[in-house]
Chain A
Amino acid sequence: MSASAVFILDVKGKPLISRNYKGDVAMSKIEHFMPLLVQREEEGALAPLLSHGQVHFLWIKHSNLYLVATTSKNANASLVYSFLYKTIEVFCEYFKELEEESIRDNFVIVYELLDELMDFGFPQTTDSKILQEYITQQSNKLETGKSRVPPTVTNAVSWRSEGIKYKKDEVFIDVIESVNLLVNANGSVLLSEIVGTIKLKVFLSGMPELRLGLNDRVLFELTGRSKNKSVELEDVKFHQCVRLSRFDNDRTISFIPPDGDFELMSYRLSTQVKPLIWIESVIEKFSHSRVEIMVKAKGQFKKQSVANGVEISVPVPSDADSPRFKTSVGSAKYVPERNVVIWSIKSFPGGKEYLMRAHFGLPSVEKEEVEGRPPIGVKFEIPYFTVSGIQVRYMKIIEKSGYQALPWVRYITQSGDYQLRTS
Chain B
Amino acid sequence: MTDSKYFTTTKKGEIFELKAELNSDKKEKKKEAVKKVIASMTVGKDVSALFPDVVNCMQTDNLELKKLVYLYLMNYAKSQPDMAIMAVNTFVKDCEDPNPLIRALAVRTMGCIRVDKITEYLCEPLRKCLKDEDPYVRKTAAVCVAKLHDINAQLVEDQGFLDTLKDLISDSNPMVVANAVAALSEIAESHPSSNLLDLNPQSINKLLTALNECTEWGQIFILDCLANYMPKDDREAQSICERVTPRLSHANSAVVLSAVKVLMKFMEMLSKDLDYYGTLLKKLAPPLVTLLSAEPELQYVALRNINLIVQKRPEILKHEMKVFFVKYNDPIYVKLEKLDIMIRLASQANIAQVLAELKEYATEVDVDFVRKAVRAIGRCAIKVEQSAERCVSTLLDLIQTKVNYVVQEAIVVIKDIFRKYPNKYESVIATLCENLDSLDEPEARAAMIWIVGEYAERIDNADELLESFLEGFHDESTQVQLQLLTAIVKLFLKKPTETQELVQQVLSLATQDSDNPDLRDRGYIYWRLLSTDPVAAKEVVLAEKPLISEETDLIEPTLLDELICYIGTLASVYHKPPSAFVEGGRGVVHKSLPPRTASSESAESPETAPTGAPPGEQPDVIPAQGDLLGDLLNLDLGPPVSGPPLATSSVQMGAVDLLGGGLDSLIGGTNFVAPPTAAVPANLGAPIGSGLSDLFDLTSGVGTLSGSYVAPKAVWLPAMKAKGLEISGTFTRQVGSISMDLQLTNKALQVMTDFAIQFNRNSFGLAPAAPLQVHAPLSPNQTVEISLPLSTVGSVMKMEPLNNLQNNIDVFYFSTLYPLHILFVEDGKMDRQMFLATWKDIPNENEAQFQIRDCPLNAEAASSKLQSSNIFTVAKRNVEGQDMLYQSLKLTNGIWVLAELRIQPGNPSCTLSLKCRAPEVSQHVYQAYETILKN
Question: Which positions in A face B, CB cutoff 8 Å?
Answer: 1, 15-17, 20, 22-24, 44-49, 51, 54, 56, 58-60, 71-79, 81-83, 85, 101, 104-108, 111-112, 115, 119-126, 134, 139-140, 142-145, 147-149, 153-154, 156, 158, 182, 184-185, 190-191, 193, 195, 234-240, 243-245, 247-248, 263, 265-266, 268, 270, 370-375, 417, 419, 421
Contact = CB atoms under 8 A, between A and B. Distances in A.
B254 A421 contact: no
Contacts of B331: 46
B64 A140 contact: yes
Contacts of B536: none
B101 to A, nearest CB: 5
Contact of A44 (B6, B360, B367): B367
11 contacts: A73-B587, A77-B569, A81-B297, A83-B217, A122-B179, A145-B63, A182-B325, A184-B356, A191-B322, A247-B249, A268-B293
Interface in B117-157: 134-136, 139-140, 143, 146-147, 150
B286 interface: yes
Given A49-B573, A248-B246, 10 more contacts: A44-B368, A46-B333, A73-B570, A74-B569, A74-B581, A106-B3, A154-B175, A237-B251, A243-B212, A370-B365
A124 to B, nearest CB: 7
> Max chain A CB contacts within 10 Å: which of B253, B293, B325?
B293
B162 to A, nearest CB: 16
Nearest to B135: A154
A47 B300 contact: yes
B595 interface: no
A101 B100 CA distance: 33
B220 A76 contact: yes
A266 B286 contact: no
B104 A149 contact: yes
B67 A115 contact: yes
A24 B586 CA distance: 13
A74 B7 contact: no
A237 B322 contact: no
A182 B571 CA distance: 33
Nearest to A416: B293
Contacts of B217: 79, 83, 122-124, 126
Interface stretch (B106-114, B412-420, B831-839, B922-930): B106-114
> Max chain B CB contacts within 10 Å: which of A145, A263, A421?
A145
B67 A22 contact: no
A182 B324 CA distance: 12
Contacts of B356: 184
A158 B135 CA distance: 12
B3 A104 contact: yes
A74 B63 contact: no
B682 interface: no
B566 interface: yes
Contact of B68 (A48, A108, A265): A108
A139 B327 CA distance: 46
A119 B182 CA distance: 11
A245 B243 contact: yes
> Max chain B CB contacts within 10 Å: which of A73, A106, A239, A270?
A73
Given A105-B2, A107-B42, A417-B327, A119 B143 contact: yes
Interface size class of B (residues with CB under 8 A): 35 or more
Given A185-B360, A419-B327, A74 B571 contact: yes
B447 to A, nearest CB: 22
Interface in B1-60: 2-4, 6-7, 31, 35, 38-39, 42, 44
Interface string B581-606: 11100010000000000000000000
A83 B42 CA distance: 22
A239 B147 CA distance: 31
Contact of A182 (B246, B286, B327): B327
Contacts of B323: 191, 193, 270
B221 interface: yes
A251 to B, nearest CB: 11
A122 B174 contact: no
A15 B182 contact: no
A158 B215 contact: yes
Contact of A79 (B100, B189, B215, B254): B254
B562 to A, nearest CB: 11
B100 A148 contact: yes
**Which applies to chain A's interface (DSSP): helix, strand, loop or mixed?**
mixed
Contacts of A373: 363-364
A78 B257 contact: yes
Contacts of B246: 244-245, 247-248
A147 B42 contact: no
A103 to B, nearest CB: 9
B71 interface: yes
A1 B182 contact: yes
A393 to B, nearest CB: 20
> Max chain A CB contacts within 10 Å: which of B3, B289, B566?
B3
B253 A268 contact: no
B763 interface: no
A74 B108 contact: no
A382 to B, nearest CB: 21
B143 A74 contact: no
Nearest to B34: A108
A67 B363 CA distance: 34
Contacts of B68: 108, 111
A44 B332 contact: yes
B290 interface: yes
B320 to A, nearest CB: 9
A106 B64 contact: no
A195 B31 CA distance: 50
B570 A71 contact: yes
CB-based closest 8 A-B pairs = A235-B286, A105-B2, A244-B246, A74-B578, A248-B246, A48-B297, A154-B135, A78-B254
Contacts of A236: 249
Contacts of B186: 1, 120-121
B301 interface: yes
Interface string B476-493: 000000000000000000
B287 interface: yes
B365 A372 contact: yes
B496 to A, nearest CB: 47
A148 B99 contact: yes
Contacts of A143: 61-62
Contacts of A248: 245-246, 249
Nearest to B219: A240
Contacts of B212: 243-245
A104 B249 contact: no
A322 to B, nearest CB: 25
B293 A195 contact: yes
A145 B101 CA distance: 9
Contact of B101 (A51, A134, A237): A134
Contacts of A56: 570, 581
A266 B251 contact: yes
Interface string B455-490: 000000000000000000000000000000000000
A48 B574 CA distance: 12
Contact of A148 (B44, B101, B297, B298): B101
B228 interface: no
Contacts of B253: 78, 81-82
B101 A147 contact: yes
Nearest to B174: A156
B108 A111 contact: no
B568 A49 contact: no
Interface string B735-761: 000000000000000000000000000
B207 to A, nearest CB: 14
A14 to B, nearest CB: 9
B224 interface: yes
Nearest to A84: B297
B307 interface: no
A79 to B, nearest CB: 4
Interface string B538-560: 00000000000000000000000
